[in-house]
Amino acid sequence: MDIVTPLIARQRYAAVVNGTGTASVYAFGECMKDLSPNDCNLCFAQCKTQVLKCLPFQLATRGGRVFYDGCYLRYDDYDFFNESLSSQDRTVCGSKDFGGNNTVFGANAIELVRNLSVQAVKNDGFFVGSVTFSKGNVSVHGLAQCWEFVNGSACENCLENAVSRIASCTQKEEGRVLNAGCYLRYSTQRFYNNSGPDPVPGNGGDNKLAVILATSAVALLLVFSLVAFFVRRKLLQKRRERKQLGALQVAVNKSKLNFSYETLEKATNYFHESNKLGQGGSGSVYKGTLPGGEAVAVKRLFYNTTQWVDHFFNEVNLISGINHKNLVKLLGCSITGPESLLVYEFVPNQSLLDNLFGC
Ligand SMILES: Nc1ncnc2c1ncn2[C@@H]1O[C@H](COP(=O)(O)OP(=O)(O)OP(=O)(O)O)[C@@H](O)[C@H]1O
């Protein structure tokens, strides 16, 4: 142990053989790679005191191991430096039950340690990380480390074994696997030191949730913006139409071309079928008799939008001023009732032909 201590202080691990033949003693010690040099020395000092209790002359044992959360020390009477698994390997579960959803917690913890193990093999035998998952800010932190001489497939085997064994702890807030060649731990408490943000291997529930929430928020915002845009446009259009219609009504009411809807209704006997003169492309034409006895032809138009009425009234204004022998005179219109009507002078069949062919 006296040879091991300065080596640990210098390089954070030590593999030493002391003695010859059957009296040889093999000793190995290593600190967790996240530990500061000072903490490593302190941890090892504690470890050494503890392992001395295992010495053969005291307990008649051939070897001893001590696992601390920050360091590891083992001695034996054979070369175990490359050993990844042994019959003395242990799984140590925490005492406190996990209070929340065990199934989700267990799945996240296993996914974390599995990812950490994969990363540790690729990253010089060491990796730490954590994952936070939905509902109540629950995090699970983990650490995977293979000892200095256990690398490549030996490290992979050791950590794979540790992952399968640590699964028995997932009802608890904490679990550790203490193997001959590696160490694996998870905990709801952050126990490791590392600078910078946590690497988050795997896909923790919260990350997924954050992505889903962000995407949904953007989508919702987009939908709300579109709805607001169309509603506002519709309202503005309606307001404009109301304004236009108001101005139009005033103009129509003042005009001598204005006929009230009721007058034309009565004049045509409420658009009775027997009064129908014919059917045109833009509406049906009815014969009517005005209160003064004047015969008229009333065209009942299909279209009735405000914009169209506006345009239509301007046309009526224009055409009504024209007097031509080949043109049936337009007497006026009604645009304020439930439908738009045009009023022409009535031309008997014969005269209509005369009008058309100029006879
Ligand atoms: N002033 C009128 N006096 C008597 N009958 C009319 C008069 N105007 C139309 N009619 C009758 O109604 C029918 C349809 O006339 P209308 O003017 O609607 O036809 P149109 O040429 O298809 O017109 P538009 O395509 O502009 O609606 C005519 O064929 C005619 O018999």
Q: ipTM, 2 decimals?
A: 0.94
Q: Which of 299, 315, 333 to mutate to test the pocket of ligand 1 (most atoms within 8 A of CB)?
A: 299
Residue type, 178: L
Residue 49's CATH number: 3.30.430.20
Do both 133 and 58 map to the same domain? Answer: no
Is 197 within the bounds of a domain? no
Q: Which residue ranges are tagged as binding site for ATP?
A: 299
In the structure encoding, which two tokens stand for residue 204, read together?
Answer: 């923790």
Do both 183 and 212 map to the same domain? Answer: no
Is 84 within the bounds of a domain? no
Answer with the one of 157, 187, 217 that is the final residue of a domain: 187
Do both 107 and 211 map to the same domain? Answer: no
Atom of ligand 1 lying closest to residue 282 CA: 27
In the structure encoding, which two tokens stand for residue 36, read together?
Answer: 């500061």
Listed in order, strand segments (DSSP E) in the chain are 13-18, 25-31, 64-67, 71-76, 90-93, 126-133, 138-146, 174-178, 182-187, 276-279, 283-289, 295-301, 330-334, 341-345
Decide: 47 and 33 in contact? Cβ < 8 Å: no
Do both 353 and 246 map to the same domain? Answer: yes
**What residues line ligand 1, using a CB cutoff of 6 Å?**
277-283, 285, 297, 299, 328, 344, 346-347, 352
Using alpha carbons, list the distances in angstroms from residue 346 to 147, 260, 299, 330.
Answer: 110, 18, 11, 10
Q: How far is the CA of 341 from the centre of ligand 1 (A)?
A: 13
Decide: 37 and 45 in contact? Cβ < 8 Å: no
Question: Residue 160 belongs to what domain range?
Answer: 90-187
Number of domains within the chain: 3
Do both 106 and 155 map to the same domain? Answer: yes
Q: For atom 23 of ligand 1, which residue has the closest CA?
A: 280
Q: Which of 276, 352, 353, 354 to mutate to test the pocket of ligand 1 (most atoms within 8 A of CB)?
A: 352
Per-residue pLDDT of the chain (359 residues; tens, 9 = 90+): 788 888 999 999 999 998 888 888 899 999 999 998 888 888 888 888 887 777 665 555 678 888 999 999 998 889 999 899 999 999 999 999 988 888 888 998 999 999 999 999 999 999 999 988 766 678 899 999 999 999 899 999 999 999 999 999 999 999 999 999 999 999 999 999 865 444 444 444 455 566 677 788 888 888 988 899 999 988 888 787 666 666 666 666 666 778 889 999 999 999 999 999 999 877 899 999 999 999 999 998 876 555 566 666 666 666 666 666 656 788 888 877 778 888 999 998 745 555 454 43
Is 83 within the bounds of a domain? no
